[in-house]
Structure 1
Amino acid sequence: MLPNSAWQGRNDFGALGYRAPCPPPGRSHRDAFYLSALDQPTSLALGVTRNRFLRAVEGHILASGELAGLYSH
């Protein structure tokens, strides 16, 4: 459950919400998680695409970080 002030955009599957890493069998897959602190809220709607989000926050990112992992099974 998300806090009232949080919202989610579309994931790579075209749906809302997080899906755990699930690489194709036999191959490694890199997943990256990005977090940005903004200087102001956005007016973006639920389900916004990544590209639209990045354009909207351009010039408003105070700090950011990335966590990447390599998954396989």
Structure 2
Amino acid sequence: MLAWLGEILKERSQIFTPIVSMVGAFGPVVTAPLVGSVVEKSGPGSIPTSVTLLAGFLFFSVVVTWWTTRHHNRSL
């Protein structure tokens, strides 16, 4: 991601590199309390189901993003 960012933004990449690094490290900070909450309410057996649902949601998000932007990329 950082290599792509440097290639696309060239001079301004030094501004956005710390932001991208921070956002990348923010995921575990957000998910750890969510996993703890799920385990507390439903027990440890619910973790595989929760992870599968999260993966499905992320896959769906990628497909929707790809579907909505594929026509824009052809004009480049």
Structure with bigger RCO (C-alpha 8 Å, 6+ apart): 1
**Greater Cα radius of gyration, structure 1 or 2:** 2
Kindly indicate which of the two structures has a greater share of residues assigned to strand: 1
TM-score (norm 2): 0.29
Kindly indicate which of the two structures has a greater share of residues assigned to helix: 2
